[in-house]
């Protein structure tokens, strides 16, 4: 089975000096391609550096470039030009991580919305898909997206953790959905069990969101407590179980979906 991890925070400091080993473990676990998440302009540059350093042939590591809503206060006059330049890099396959987070509200909501709208406009301009973050903000995100959706090539709501109403509203907008180890969490993710079967093949993708969201179904549990892409099969098995599919079938259609969405090369 081949898997694609569409959301890896490989620039996180917990991976420092361990990048090669983390990538190798992922590949041994069947994760043949990874999309490294850019959450700030410097972080997006760092993700691209990792892609070029650890995948000279441009086959397995790619990146997004954008500004996370937690960093929206850093969106300034020169940010648009800087991001536009990053989006021209051949390894960048989506705009983001961008979106709205009304759960933690690390940045004022008007600033979050301003940064999001600017990045959606750049996605329209570049033709790249969008990698979206949303927490407790689905109604406002939907309202903003509706003004751009007809011009956007595609968009994925990454790490979907919402309820049925939000899921169906996103699917009605023809958005893709990313599922993480949240579905493996018996404390807060069980509502996803009944929802994942409603996501049509061709709209569903898998992600680790490493180093966050270690799947709680893992046995034995890693002593580090840190998630990494090698644990993506645990997400696959939980998603497949609740969709009534074999892991092989779920792996095949989620991998094909991710490859189309991010325009990734085929891996023999």
Listed by start position, the domains of the chain span: 3-261
Q: Which residues of the chain have pLDDT under 50?
A: none
Q: What is the pLDDT of residue 168?
A: 98
Cβ contacts of 151-155, under 8 Å, gap ≥ 24: 151/124, 152/120, 152/123, 152/124, 153/123, 153/127, 153/128, 153/129, 154/129, 154/130, 154/261, 155/123, 155/129, 155/130, 155/131
**Model pLDDT for residues 213-225, shown as the tens digit of each residue:** 999 999 888 888 8
**pLDDT of the residue at 54:** 98
Residue 214: its pLDDT value, please? 97
Per-residue model confidence (pLDDT) at position 268: 82
Q: Which CATH superfamily is domain 3-261 in?
A: Metal-dependent hydrolases (3.20.20.140)
126 within 8 A of 154, measured Cβ to Cβ: no
98 contacts 155 by C-beta, under 8 angstroms:
no
* Contact between residue 124 and residue 151 where contact means Cβ atoms under 8 Å apart: yes
DSSP state of 132: E
CA atoms within 13 A on the CB side of 20: 4
What pLDDT score was predicted for residue 223?
A: 85
CA distance 246 to 240: 6
Q: What is the pLDDT of residue 11?
A: 98
Three-state SS annotation for 226-254: CCCHHHHHHHHHHHHHHHCCCHHHHHHHH
pLDDT of residue 234: 98
Amino acid 123: pLDDT: 98
């Amino acid at each position: 089975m081949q898997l694609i991890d569409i959301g890896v925070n490989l620039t996180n400091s917990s991976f420092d000096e361990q990048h090669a080993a983390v990538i190798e473990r992922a590949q041994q676990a069947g994760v043949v391609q990874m999309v490294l998440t850019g959450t700030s302009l410097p972080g997006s540059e760092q993700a691209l550096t990792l892609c070029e350093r650890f995948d000279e042939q441009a086959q397995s590591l790619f990146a997004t470039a954008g500004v996370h809503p937690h960093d929206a206060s850093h969106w300034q006059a020169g940010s648009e030009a800087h991001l536009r330049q990053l989006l021209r890099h051949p390894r960048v396959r989506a705009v983001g991580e961008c979106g709205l987070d009304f759960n933690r509200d690390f940045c004022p909501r008007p600033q979050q919305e301003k940064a999001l709208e600017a990045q959606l406009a750049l996605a329209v301009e570049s033709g790249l898909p969008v990698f979206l973050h949303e927490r407790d903000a689905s109604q406002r995100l939907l309202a903003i997206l509706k003004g751009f959706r007809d011009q956007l090539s595609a968009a994925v709501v990454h790490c979907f953790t919402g309820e049925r109403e939000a899921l169906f509203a996103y699917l009605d907008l023809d958005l893709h959905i990313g599922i993480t180890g949240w579905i493996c969490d018996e404390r807060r993710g069980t509502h996803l069990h009944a929802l994942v079967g409603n996501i049509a093949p061709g709209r569903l993708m898998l992600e680790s969101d490493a180093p966050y969201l270690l799947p709680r179904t893992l046995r034995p549990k890693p002593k580090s407590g840190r998630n990494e892409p090698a644990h993506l099969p645990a997400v696959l098995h939980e998603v497949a179980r609740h969709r009534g599919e074999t892991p092989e079938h779920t792996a095949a259609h989620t991998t094909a979906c991710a490859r189309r969405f991010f325009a990734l090369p085929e891996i023999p």
